[in-house]
Amino acid sequence: MVSLSHLGPEARSLAMLPSAERLARLRMERWIGYTCAHQALVQLEALLSDEPGKLRPKNILIVGPSNNGKTMIAEKFHRAHPQRMSEDGEHEVIPVLMLQMPAEATANRLHTALQATLGTPVGFYGRHDVREALTLRLMRAVGVRMLIIDEVHNLLGATARRQRELLNLLRFIGNDLRIPIVCLGIRDAYLAIRSDDQLENRFHPLLLPLWEAGEEFARLLASFETVLPLREPSHLATAPLCELILRRSEGTIGEITALLNSATVAALLQGEERINCAVIERADYHPPSVRRRMVERELR
């Protein structure tokens, strides 16, 4: 009898399936908890449960490198507070409204994104003041208590005048609805918010830095091991395997996930039930810096 004590309940049942079925299910999205992510979720919960209607609600800016878990944290929080029917059953309630800052960031496009996320048919054109009033009225009608905006660094692609207009709009939405705003983005997101003194004072930064060797990274790898459907323990958190994973992934949780998924595929295709350094080296995976060099070489 194979011992699967190193796996969580869901992975334990998957591990008993044939390799082909495990490979088919491997790409399913999995939540991997770690200290910074848990802290972020706790802060978001506290923000949402804070006394509604505060004159100056607290805001949060989650900043970190690309592919380092910002959106996954926000989506997990969003899923915990889904759209629902009101108690009287007469209308929809959307406690947490989440959207992405438009790639071409303008006030009109942001209003369009807000209205589309609210489920309202919209057209791009219309008087700005009318669209603004409609957006705020809709958000009040469905009981929005928190606004989450991903990719807020897209602001910096706009002209200086449009940047000021958009930052003023964010401040106005927060003030008028008296709701907290959560922004997500790379380092440039902080630069965008910092360009407005009033917004900078209201947004409390929460950093998701690159991963480094240490106890926290070892705990992260131990968490990963509980969800990978392999029948033998890999001891991912021990050296030199831990060091190899960190070096090849270059320190972002998205790349760590991609590397370990590829290594699991390689192990199963080779008839193995654990990940070791040789499996990592044979995995169909290239670190971000290698992928960039490959593209640059092709473009010469």
| Residue 106 sits in the same domain as residue 250 | no
| Residue 182 sits in the same domain as residue 61 | yes
Residue with tokens 């899923």: 79
Helix spans in the chain (H): 9-15, 19-25, 35-49, 70-80, 107-117, 128-141, 160-177, 187-194, 197-202, 215-225, 241-249, 253-269, 277-282, 288-299
Q: How confident is the model over 222-252, as pLDDT tens digits?
A: 999 999 999 999 999 999 999 999 999 999 9
| Residue 40 sits in the same domain as residue 162 | yes
pLDDT band at 261 (very low <50, low <70, confident <90, very high): very high
Residue 175 exposure: Cα atoms within 13 Å on the Cβ side = 9
Task: With respect to residue 80, please indicate whether it lies within any of the assigned structural domains.
Answer: yes
| Residue 79 sits in the same domain as residue 188 | yes
Distance CA 20, CA 253 (A): 26
Report field, pTM of the whole predicted structure over 0.85:
yes
| Residue 251 sits in the same domain as residue 195 | no
Task: With respect to residue 235, please indicate whether it lies within any of the assigned structural domains.
Answer: yes
Average pLDDT rounded to a whole number, residues 42-47: 94
- Pairing between strand 84-85 and 59-63? unpaired
Instruction: Report the number of distinct structural domains present in the chain.
Output: 2
| Residue 162 sits in the same domain as residue 43 | yes
Structural domain for 269, as ranges: 9-30+227-299
Task: With respect to residue 140, please indicate whether it lies within any of the assigned structural domains.
Answer: yes
User: What are 108's two structure tokens?
Assistant: 């009109």
Which percentage of the chain shows pLDDT scores above 90?
Answer: 67
Residue 125 has pLDDT above 60, yes or no: no
Quote the mean pLDDT of the chain.
90
Average pLDDT rounded to a whole number, residues 47-70: 86
Average pLDDT rounded to a whole number, residues 269-294: 94
287, 255 contact by CB (below 8 A): yes
Residue with tokens 């044979």: 282
Q: How confident is the model over 164-214, as pLDDT tens digits?
A: 899 889 999 999 999 999 999 998 888 888 877 777 788 899 999 999 999
Give the CA distances from residue 35 to residues 72, 150, 204, 216, 217, in Å, rounded to whole numbers and listed in that order: 14, 21, 18, 8, 10
| Residue 45 sits in the same domain as residue 20 | no
Using DSSP, state whether 68 is helix, strand or coil.
Answer: coil
Number of Cβ within 10 Å of residue 271's Cβ equals: 7
Residue 69 has pLDDT above 90, yes or no: yes
